[in-house]
Amino acid sequence: MKVLVLGAGGIGGYFGGRLAESGVDVTFLVRERRYKQLQERGLRVLSIHGDLHLERPQMIQAGEAAGSFDVVLLSNKAYTLAESMDAIAPYVGDDTIVIPLLNGMAHMEPLRDRFGRERVLGGLCFIETTLNAEGDVVQTSPIHDAVFGEWEGGKSERVERLEQAFSKINGTMRASNNIQREAWHKYLFIATFSGITTLMNSAVGPIRESAYGVELTRQLAEEIVSVMQALEAPIKPDIVEKQMETFQNQRPQAKSSMLRDMEKGLPVEADHLQGYLLKHAEQKGLSTPLLKVVYNNLKVYEQKRAAGK
């Protein structure tokens, strides 16, 4: 099975590296700067689950001839979606399966419109990872799982083949019978987690220990759930309680990837995550005051970043 991984950053570098380590034929589609960096240094993963060093990872840059792949794993940020779809298009054949590991929902329709609904699975991942100054992948969370499945549910023969091919990695890449529900649940968690940590500019620990940190986190989650319910998302009735338990069990030093990106002065996925929800809240006439504050905070950050401040 030939797998193309778009990007070799925190997500793509980690799961692509683990797949290659397990013997899967993996090629990374990367930009010129990352290509040169990996040529010189190799792909290094520094993980609490064991380090990894691929001295000569297989790589291509956009436009290079490589034929089609069996699987294309998308690990890009949402704000590069259009560019990413153009980059992978030459490598998507009639039988190629596209698995996006992006957060949120806004990317699904564009991907299915571009490549066909039958080629695009649902996907998500649970992991805390980033790149250090040397370009190494640093992975720090106890959980390092990726999930995929048929968007309409059930477990098809092709999904079972994928699960079998990915079964030997150091980590988990599992198939889901209900990927839509899992994707909406993940969306709720990441929109809440990224929202509250960026608003407070803090890791989880100080937020939980502050006077209203847990209360505000719950309020944000409840506002987001109200939007999801209005959209008839297949979420569980007790999902807020379950996710607040997860929030309480996070390591005190845990940060959202969005906060880490802000600390590095990088772009953020404000429109793809919180903005998408806010747009639908306004269309449905829902009151989401805290979600508005979270989104506005992110948009102010974007303005400052654009101005170089």
Helix ranges (H only) for 54-131 are 81-88, 108-115
Catalytic residue among 155, 186, 236, 299: 186
Rounded Cα–Cα distance for residues 84 and 18 (Å):
22
Taking CA atoms, 244 is separated from 196, 227, 267, 293, in Å, by 13, 18, 27, 20
Cβ neighbours around 297 below 10 Å, total: 17
Q: Classify burial at 207, counting beta carbons within 10 Å of its beta carbon; exposed 0-12, middle 13-18, buried 19 or more.
A: buried
Q: Which of 139, 263, 243 is nearest to 197 (CA)?
A: 263
Q: Which of 85, 174, 87 is nearest to 123 (CA)?
A: 174
- Please indicate whether residue 242 is annotated as part of the active site: no
Residues listed for the chain? 309
The residues carrying an active-site annotation are 186
